[in-house]
């Protein structure tokens, strides 16, 4: 079946602008995760949604970052007032339990 999809694949924005990144999980996967991967680095956890439970936001680096998920479907990650240090690949993953399956990521470049 279809895997995790993300859009856009690339986003170039100017410092100070807001951006919205989208993730479509695998159908039937109740858990959805966002990670950030800076160039040449590992993956940093940002936020996790599980069903109707309150999301685990413990990885969000600042209050400029927020995310929403509608039921068990699409999620959007919003970064307000982008900074150059926000430049990274933002990866979404979904799971039924284990393992997590990743999307192709959105490469964000903040000029």
Partner 1 sequence: GENVEQHPSTLSVQEGDSAVIKCTYSDSASNYFPWYKQELGKRPQLIIDIRSNVGEKKDQRIAVTLNKTAKHFSLHITETQPEDSAVYFCAASNRGFQKLVFGTGTRLLVSP
In this structure, the number of other CB atoms found within 10 A of the CB of residue 93 comes to 21
Among 7, 13, 50, 76, binds partner 1 (CB under 8 A): 50
Among 10, 27, 41, 73, binds partner 1 (CB under 8 A): 41
- Quick one: 13 or 55, whose CB is closer to partner 1? 55
The site map against partner 1 for 81-110 (x = CB under 8 A) is ----------x---x-xxxxxxxxx-----
CA–CA gap between residue 1 and residue 37 (Å, rounded): 26
């Amino acid at each position: 079946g279809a895997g995790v999809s993300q859009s856009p694949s690339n986003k170039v924005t100017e410092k100070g602008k807001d951006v919205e990144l989208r993730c479509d999980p695998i159908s039937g996967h109740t858990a959805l995760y966002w990670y950030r991967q800076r160039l040449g680095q590992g993956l940093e956890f940002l936020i996790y949604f599980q069903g109707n439970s309150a999301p685990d936001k413990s990885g969000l680096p600042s209050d400029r970052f927020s995310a929403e998920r509608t039921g068990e479907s699409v999620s959007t990650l919003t970064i307000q007032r982008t900074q150059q240090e926000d430049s990274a690949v933002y990866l979404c993953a979904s799971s039924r339990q284990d393992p997590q399956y990743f999307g192709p990521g959105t490469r964000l470049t903040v000029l």
